[in-house]
């Protein structure tokens, strides 16, 4: 083993010498640590070169060596070969931790790409299958009263289904948001033995199948109490599904709020409910919006509870208590079952409208939850806390 030689040098402003070790010419310089910032030219060349080599190797394996035909097998083989090539090329100049870092990075990037590709492909497929009815304005301004499955696209529309979905989701949100956030506040801020029981029940109801929620409302409201099928019954079924999702997500968000904010509010003389109203809830507002989005995403596309509780109407119904009411998921389900090509095109067009409706609801929820400036938020909180502090004095 070669011993590093040392060369005496004189430091400026000192009378002594400092020995700086130097490596002999034959020794290998340690590989520099790969940083977490922007990759340099060598790193980019290794990554892109590995994927290009994996592309050629995947073609050889699927087209010449093994009977694996089709784009799916080619994509899988390319991805596996890419991981192997990245591991080999990194191991030539790097350490074990560098190999692990780049392989895991490729795995996560590939998983994100697969999810993104699946999402984009689904949206493109739905839009392409339903673009013909979408180009007619009557599809958004008329209902299906008097329109058959073989009638042209210039007749009929999904206005009744759009209005029904908005009414049902609106009622469900009006019921579940105060109950869900109130349940989360009770579990987080109040606590106690009963709070543990409530948390257990909420976690158990999170995995509740949608058909069970529909059967519950059907048995209690329609069979036992004799209430006819209506949009209100469907909204209650959706509320049963959305409530545990919103309560569980809001509970997680409120538990993340720092405890020193609560202590500072109580130190100013504010009561417990003022602390929750003026400090905890405004701080957790973006997270509560995410909880609302999760709940709406769970309920807006459900068909089975709506099928059992609301029924299907081919005409516009604006009163949720006035008989049967249609919705977009139920319209899509009933239209696809007909088997007619034109009816299936209407169903895919309605699915496109449903995707757009969900996107609009998500954007509205995000805009309402957007935090204000720090100065305005601080003035608002102090304005609610300082009067209580003055009264205590």
| Distance (Å, whole) CA 288 – CA 8 | 65
* Distance separating alpha carbons of residues 161 and 330, to the nearest angstrom: 8
pLDDT band at 6 (very low <50, low <70, confident <90, very high): very low
Given the structure tokens 């070969």, which residue do they identify?
81
Average pLDDT over residues 64-78: 86
pLDDT digits (tens, 9 = 90+) for 325-352: 889 999 999 888 887 888 889 999 999 9
pLDDT band with cut points at 50, 70 and 90 for residue 1: very low
Give the tokens for residue 31: 């590989």
- pLDDT value, residue 379: 52
Tell me 176's DSSP state: H
CATH topology of domain 159-392: MetI-like fold (1.10.3720)
Q: Are 327 and 108 in contact (CB under 8 A)?
A: no
Kindly report which listed range (28-32, 97-101, 141-145) carries the lowest average pLDDT score: 28-32
Conformation bin of residue 273: beta by default, left when phi > 0, alpha when psi is -120 to 50: alpha
Average pLDDT of the chain is 82
pLDDT tens per residue, range 346-393: 999 999 999 998 888 888 887 877 766 544 554 555 455 544 444 444
* pLDDT above 60: residue 140: yes
Locate 209 and state its tokens: 């199948």
Question: How do residues 289-330 score in pLDDT, each as one tens digit?
Answer: 888 888 888 888 888 888 889 888 888 888 888 888 889 999
Does residue 97 sit in helix, strand or coil?
helix
Q: What angle do CA 361, 363, 367 make, to 5 degrees?
A: 120
- Coil vs helix vs strand at 86: helix
Q: Specify the pLDDT at position 173.
A: 92
CB 215 within 8 A of CB 271: no
Residue 275 has pLDDT above 50, yes or no: yes
Q: Angle formed by the axes of helices 231-256 and 193-206, to 10°? A: 120
- Is residue 171's pLDDT more than 90? yes
pLDDT number for residue 14? 47
H-helix segments, the chain: 41-60, 71-93, 96-129, 131-134, 138-141, 159-185, 193-206, 210-217, 231-256, 259-267, 272-275, 281-283, 285-299, 304-309, 328-336, 341-368, 374-392
Reported as a single tens digit per residue, the pLDDT across 35-65 is 455 667 777 887 888 899 999 999 999 888 8
Q: What is the mean pLDDT of residues 82-104?
A: 88
* DSSP conformational letter for 62: I
Block residue for tokens 């701080």: 283
In angstroms, the CA 241 to CA 180 distance is: 11
For the chain, the domains span: 41-129, 159-392
Rounded to 5°, angle at Cα 373 from 368 and 374: 125
Q: Using pLDDT thresholds of 50, 70 and 90, give the confidence band for residue 2.
A: very low
Judged against a pLDDT cut of 70, whether residue 168 lies above it is answered with: yes
Q: Assess whether pLDDT exceeds 80 at residue 8.
A: no
């Amino acid at each position: 083993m070669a011993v590093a030689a040392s060369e005496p040098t004189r430091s400026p402003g000192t009378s002594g010498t400092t020995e700086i070790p130097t490596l002999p010419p034959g020794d290998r310089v340690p590989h520099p640590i790969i940083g977490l910032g922007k990759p340099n030219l060598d790193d980019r060349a290794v990554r892109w070169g590995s994927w290009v080599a994996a592309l050629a190797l995947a073609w050889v394996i699927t087209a010449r060596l093994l009977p694996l035909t089709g784009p799916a097998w080619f994509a899988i083989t390319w991805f596996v070969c890419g991981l192997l090539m990245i591991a080999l090329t990194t191991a030539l100049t790097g350490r074990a931790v560098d190999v692990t870092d780049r392989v895991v990075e490729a795995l996560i990037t590939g998983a994100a790409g697969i999810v993104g590709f699946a999402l984009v492909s689904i949206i493109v497929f739905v839009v392409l299958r339903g673009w013909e009815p979408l180009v007619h304005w009557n599809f958004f301004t008329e209902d299906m009263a008097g329109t058959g499955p073989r009638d042209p696209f210039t007749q009929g529309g999904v206005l009744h289904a759009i209005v029904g979905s908005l009414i049902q989701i609106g009622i469900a949100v009006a019921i579940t948001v105060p109950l869900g956030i109130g349940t989360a506040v009770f579990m987080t801020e109040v606590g106690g033995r009963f709070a543990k029981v409530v948390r257990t029940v909420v976690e158990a109801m999170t995995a509740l199948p949608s058909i069970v929620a529909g059967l519950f409302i059907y048995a209690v409201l329609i069979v036992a109490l004799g209430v006819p099928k209506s949009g209100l019954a469907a909204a209650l079924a959706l509320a049963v599904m959305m409530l545990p999702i919103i309560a569980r997500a809001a509970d997680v968000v409120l538990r993340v709020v720092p405890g020193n904010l609560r202590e500072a509010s109580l130190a100013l003389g504010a009561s417990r409910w003022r602390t929750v109203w003026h400090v905890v809830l405004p701080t957790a507002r973006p997270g509560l919006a995410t909880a609302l989005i999760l709940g709406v995403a769970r309920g807006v596309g459900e068909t089975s509870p709506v099928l059992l509780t609301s029924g299907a109407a081919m005409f516009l119904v604006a009163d949720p208590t006035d008989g049967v009411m249609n919705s977009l998921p139920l319209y899509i389900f009933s239209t696809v079952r007909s088997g007619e090509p034109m009816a299936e095109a209407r169903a895919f067009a309605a699915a496109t409208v449903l995707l757009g409706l969900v996107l609009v609801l998500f954007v509205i929820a995000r805009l309402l939850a957007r935090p204000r400036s720090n100065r305005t938020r601080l003035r608002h909180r102090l304005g609610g806390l300082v009067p209580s502090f003055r009264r205590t004095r």
